[in-house]
Chains A and B, each alone.
Chain A
């Protein structure tokens, strides 16, 4: 059993001496993305998360959002400025990394170049003064799982990137840690190898009983690996949820734009409420929201207002002739094989639409040349509505 509880975690990087003396007391200022206070740069704040035993949690967000800092605080490599960290109910704030019973896989592999693969994997076990037989058993077992048995006598420099990353994972799992931390472990691999290793991690997860905390900036990794995803921006958690939840019910504009590829299309729209029914209007096109959505909005007392409407590219379809539609002009057409990604200008916005190249009857769909007019439609059930502050109106 290994639960992880992060309560109101905050990380402040103090100013260097010179900057601190220049900084005058006053209201906190925003510098680049992160908040800067008198104490220093706030990299992470108000981080609250309870991770269940054997859960796979993925922290995702753009560069500088604080995801790696959070992971490093869990590892004990960064001091926690405020808040409490519990592993299995034990307060870990001031516990040395070696005594937290965690293992970590780094983006740069961080293998020991002067040791063989075997010694790299045996190193943490030797430090724990395990018997030679036990070390040998565990190393060989992990090597078997990761399919690196044939490389045990090699030095890391004689391995490819993918093999090195397997060794790094092997070094982490031989210890059978309570929590396995992974800091962008696939970022240094090429696209093909990354896909392969992603599948390996999914398999690995089924084989070993441990809690995973995984950091990535790649939303595909986040969606495919995580039981739950924590989306971060500027040091704050934006949303915590299952991949389905964050995809279908994004809490705010940032999450809506960050999760999903190509990203969600946004329009300036008007929301009108009348007799418990809601309509959203973009230009001359109006979509009626389904009853379920209307009920939620009405329950929250949402009235007529200007909103940002979000629609995913694969939820926008070509309108039939005579049908009410949003009219746009094709800028670029990207052939992706089974579908075409059309970059369209509509209502003054850049919009991406995914159009299948073949319909269900096996007929090829008409091609769109740049400059041609296109008529688009979407249903009310796929509409995401955000207020002026960017919050999802349904939340």
Chain B
């Protein structure tokens, strides 16, 4: 590979810098706005940085609305959906990667096809179904729906990961004394950790960010996840921007923490899944 010239390096850094600004700027505005006073928020000549830093907004946001409850709901929905999607995805992906049976190709096609429908298109049907199953206005309903909408992605990603792992490793485990399930649990899953973690993060983030279904299904204020609950600051006559942004910033924290914790696994998982499948 030829060495990059200094001006090319400069140009690259400049480009990266601009991209970073574009990505970070909205968060920066959210942060500074969250720290502004009411008066400053609606002042005619508004500045980017607050004239008076109102740090108490970050605490008051939790008091002004049941934000903690919204957080808890979001955690339950995202965590539950992740568990269900990965829990069902692992055996399904294993079967798709390792077993030979009729209709396998059709099943894989059907799984990927289910991913083509936007939840909005299916909203009326989903609502009727959930009401019929007495799962509307419940956290469990949201868990199941989020798991279902992320199932296809989880299966395909995990299948890709399993395909990159030599089947001989499992066969060795079977000869060593494992049954199929034991070989899966003791050998295949630990080796597939990067792929599983990747699927886990994606499902969690998708479920954490989900808005439309939660807005349609949940009527009870105390059952709302953070994405829907945050609307409480968006009044008919008056919008509490500082609380809205403060809560939004809080809402991004779990996702960022998750990314930082497992960034290495994520990259490895994406590459592993990309080789085959």
In B161-189, the 8 Å CB interface with A consists of 166, 168-169, 171-179, 182, 187
**What chain A residues lie within 8 Å of B174 (beta carbons)?**
76-77, 96-98
Q: What class of interface size applies to chain A in its complex with B?
A: 20 to 34
A110 lies within 8 A of chain B by Cβ: yes
| Across-interface contacts of B191 in A (CB, < 8 A) | 112-114
**A102-114: contact bitstring with B at CB < 8 Å (1 yes, 0 no)?**
1110111011111
- Asked whether B102 is an interface residue with its Cβ less than 8 Å from the other chain, the reply is yes
Report if A128 contacts B (CB, 8 A).
yes
Flag if B102 contacts A124 (CB, 8 Å). Answer: no
B178 in contact with A110 (CB, 8 Å): no
Query: Contact flags (1/0) for A70-113 with B, using CB distance below 8 Å?
Result: 00000111000000000000000000111000111011101111
Chain A residue at smallest Cβ distance from B187: A112
- The answer to whether B190 has its CB under 8 Å from any CB of chain A is yes
Residues in chain B near residue A106, CB distance under 8 A: 168, 171-172
Structural contact, B177 and A77, CB atoms closer than 8 A: no
Count: A-B pairs, CB below 8 Å:
60
Instruction: Check if A171 is an interface residue, CB within 8 A of chain B.
Output: yes
A47 interface hit (Cβ, 8 Å): no
| Complex contact A127–B178 (CB within 8 A) | yes
A123 interface contact, C-beta 8 A? yes
Question: Are A75 and B175 closer than 8 Å at their CB atoms?
Answer: yes
> Is the beta-carbon distance between A112 and B175 smaller than 8 angstroms?
no
Contact with A along B102-133 (1 / 0, CB 8 A): 10000000000000000000000000000000
Chain B: CB-nearest residue to A105: B172
- Residue from A77, A111, A171 whose CB has the most chain B CB atoms within 10 Å: A77
A76, A104, A175: residue with the most chain B Cβ atoms closer than 10 Å: A104
A127-139 interface code vs B (CB 8 A; 1 in, 0 out)? 1100000000000
In the complex, A98 Cα to B183 Cα: how many Å?
11
SS of A interface (majority): loop
> Are B169 and A112 in contact, CB atoms less than 8 angstroms apart?
yes
Chain B residue contacts of A107, Cβ below 8 A: 168
In the complex, what distance in Å separates the CA atom of A107 from the CA atom of B249? 53
Q: A106-B168, A112-B169, A112-B191 are in contact. Are A17 and B178 (CB under 8 A)?
A: no
User: Is there an interface contact between A110 and B190, defined as CB atoms closer than 8 Å?
Assistant: no
Residue of B nearest to A126 (CB): B177
How far does the alpha carbon of A77 sit from the alpha carbon of B169 in the complex, in Å?
12
The reply to whether A108 and B175 form a contact with Cβ atoms under 8 Å apart is no
B166, B176, B190: the one contacting A127 at CB < 8 Å is B176
Contact B177 A124 (CB under 8 A): yes
A106 to B166, CA, bound (A): 11
Q: How far is the CA of A104 from the CA of B171 in the complex (A)?
A: 9
Interface string of A185-227 (1 = CB under 8 A from B): 0000000000000000000000000000000000000000000
Minimal beta-carbon separation of B173 from chain A (angstroms): 7
Q: Which residues of B contact A124 (CB under 8 A)?
A: 176-177
Decide if B102 touches A97 in the complex (CB within 8 Å): no
* CB–CB A108/B168 < 8 A: yes
Q: Which chain B positions have C-beta within 8 A of A103?
A: 175-176
Q: In the bound complex, do residue B173 and residue A108 qualify as a contact, i.e. CB atoms below 8 Å apart?
A: no
CB-contacts of A123-159 with B (<8 A): 123-124, 127-128
Knowing A110-B166, A112-B187, the reply to whether A104 touches B177 (Cβ < 8 A) is no
Report the Cα distance A123→B176, complex, angstroms: 7
Which residues from chain B contact A97 at a C-beta distance below 8 Å? 171, 174-175
CB closest residue in chain B, given A183: B168
**B178, A98: Cβ atoms closer than 8 Å:** yes
Which A residue sits closest to B180, measured CB to CB?
A96
A97-B174, A104-B172 given as contacts; is B179 within 8 A of A17 (CB)?
Answer: no
CB-CB under 8 A from B179, the residues of chain A are 96, 98
Q: When chains A and B are docked, how far (Å) is the Cα of A35 from the Cα of B187?
A: 36
Query: Can you name the residue of chain A whose Cβ is closest to the Cβ of B174?
Result: A97
CA distance A201 to B171 in the complex (A): 22
Chain A proximity mask over B146-168: 1 for CB below 8 Å, otherwise 0: 00000000000000000000101
Chain B proximity mask over A22-58: 1 for CB below 8 Å, otherwise 0? 0000000000000000000000000000000000000
Contact A17–B166 (Cβ < 8 Å): no
Closest partner residue, chain B, to A112 (CB atom): B187
- Could you say which of B102, B169, B190, B193 contacts A17, with CB atoms under 8 Å apart? B102
Cα(A175)–Cα(B179), bound, Å: 17
Contact of B176 among A76, A77, A98, A114 (CB under 8 A): A98
A358, B139: Cα distance in complex, Å: 90
- List the A side residues contacting B177 at CB < 8 Å: 98, 124, 127-128
Q: What is the bound-complex CA distance between A152 and B98, given in angstroms?
A: 31
Determine the distance from Cα of A65 to Cα of B52 in the docked complex, in whole angstroms.
82
The answer to whether A98 and B175 touch (CB under 8 A), given A110-B166, A112-B187, is yes
Chain B residues with CB under 8 A of A111: 169, 172
Interface centre among A102, A103, A111, A114 (most CB of B within 10 A): A114
Decide if A110 touches B102 in the complex (CB within 8 Å).
Answer: no
In whole angstroms, what is the CA distance A36 to B172 when docked?
30
- Compute how far the CA of A110 lies from the CA of B188 in the bound complex, rounded to whole angstroms: 12
**Smallest CB-CB separation from B182: which chain A residue?**
A127
Roughly how many angstroms separate A77 CA and B193 CA in the complex, as a whole number? 25
Would you give 20 A-B contacts (Cβ < 8 Å), ordered by A? A17-B102, A75-B171, A76-B174, A76-B175, A96-B179, A97-B174, A98-B177, A102-B175, A103-B175, A108-B166, A110-B168, A111-B169, A112-B172, A112-B173, A114-B191, A124-B176, A124-B177, A127-B176, A127-B178, A128-B177
User: Chain A interface (Cβ within 8 Å of chain B)?
Assistant: 17, 75-77, 96-98, 102-104, 106-108, 110-114, 123-124, 127-128, 171, 175
Known: A106-B168, A108-B168, A112-B187. 6 other contacts (CB 8 A): A96-B174, A97-B175, A102-B175, A103-B175, A110-B166, A114-B190
Pairs A-B, 4 closest by C-beta atoms: A127-B177, A124-B176, A110-B172, A110-B168
